[in-house]
Amino acid sequence: GAVPYHWGRFRGLAQEMKKPLLEEHLLNNIYFDTCVYHQPGINLLTEVIPTKNILFASEMIGAVRGIDPQTGHYYDDTKRYIEATQNLTAEEKHAVYEGNARRVFTRLDAALKAKCL
């Protein structure tokens, strides 16, 4: 959602409340998906939020089903936006598409197994 747009505000509020830096505590537990539906939004997301906190998401019959008249492409063709951004290297794109999800799932799986034992 709107978090990348308000990142500066959240950083300032955390500082005023004497909290650790957001990068040190918030980003260990929050992830952002790529269902943004327009190139400027993906560009901002990939500029503001560390790549390790971005998970690829796409929708079939999602919230926005139509074709963008400005581009001629479906709004929810999120892979197209990731491919077009200049903010990510090939390695970072791989992390967004697959690597991050595998890392997060492995971490969650380990935490669940630890609680069940």
Contact 39, 77 (CB under 8 A): no
Provide, for the chain, the percentages of residues in helix, strand and coil under a 3-state DSSP scheme, each rounded to the nearest 5: 60, 5, 35
Q: Clarify whether 83 is annotated catalytic.
A: no
Catalytic residue among 16, 23, 59, 98: 59
CA atoms within 13 A on the CB side of 113: 6
Catalytically active residues are: 59
